[in-house]
Structure 1
């Protein structure tokens, strides 16, 4: 079996990803976050260039359906900066959409996901390389269950990995019960995001034991116990034999958070997070997390 990562410039072998920001956003726009949109191609280009200057080779954009992905802008940005980009299909939490959008997707959500994975996003011709969905705070509401079941259906049709926004890092085991237990998705095709926002090492170990991938993404926000606990959590997971299940990302979701606007942005992952983790885990383990693991997590035997 030959597996490929589906980028906006075409399918590549997993090793081509190199140093990968496994969860970030070049474009993002939600009515829930007015005035904080990521919508300027020039800023996205500058951010990718800054990431590349720190040694970055690829970025996985988790922006799903209806949230300003600007898919047509992604190929030229990738070519101009030399950074590979993976785009997403999927659906976020209900609060990010109006009722008309959600009503229009009833009865055809899995079909939309499959089309964006195999034919392209809108008229852009850019094919998505993953399915992004979202849970709630310590629970899965009806919207989350609907989107996750559709994601599982699309996965079974295409093989695409499913990446999950965990609200404040919670609900991982409920997500795995639905996707893997109920819907038959293999755990190694599931990527759980934002685990750093809920530093429950026991729950993280339980999730890792299933075989899924665990993404630690985004520098500290107010009231989030992230940066200072993340190295210890990653060490516990690596020491338990799950070093090959870990991913790192920047999760830049607002214009002010970009490095070109004075925030940490994508380069922070390599400029500050990487050396901090190397001191805790060793260079070899961090290299595995940033390079080999993303290639395995996002590679698919596309059907």
Structure 2
């Protein structure tokens, strides 16, 4: 076994996070979770309680603790990143921030996008925007992540970091998003599924696979952004076909719309990420079409 690490996970008690904790424990690492105390971590994990937005409370909860690596599952804004950078500089040799494919929201190309398309060092940070307002944050999710990455990038050698840009996650019987269930309900009732008139494919990642990648990344030493996506972009039609298998007599129908709201996982722009950097670093993602049937079955309650 590789050297056991002292790992702090910020947030992450559900969905991807709980799988990450299980993998870290299985790999023999010492694991601590820090959150506001909304839910306890699994056995064997130390639990620290603090609001990460309160710098004094965060530093107080940590005390004199040092970590080999911090995995931050819930950093959404540059303000949060700035607090983390101040608090954790000198406390850890590595900081892994869970970022998102949404940082590429302005990159509209049929080609799979590479990490260099968004260089955090060139992103303007504005700490005065209303990041504490939920509606603003929801509407500027990609921008918040982009600026958070930029804050960590500006930290230099004092806090080596990587930003894991996660594709849309599928799978598990605890998927709280309801997006595949939306498709299942439309197929069951015969209601048409609203999609853009030109509907673009996207890359996805299986929930177990992204947990495995994050656990692996925690033990590595590379820095900078890295895309985390399974190979093979999927269309809305492919997702719906996989869902329809679990709806007796079901058949997906689509309603193209020029403007207005469309169904989840249907996109007016391409959301495809190139996973070549991850492969060069030593991690090979699987093929999305291979795990898709299993992921859909789990989410729709037929995983057993």
Q: Identify, as 1 or 2, the structure richer in helix.
A: 1
Classify the TM-score, shorter chain: 0.3 to 0.5
Higher relative contact order (CA 8 A, sep 6+): 1
Larger radius of gyration: 2
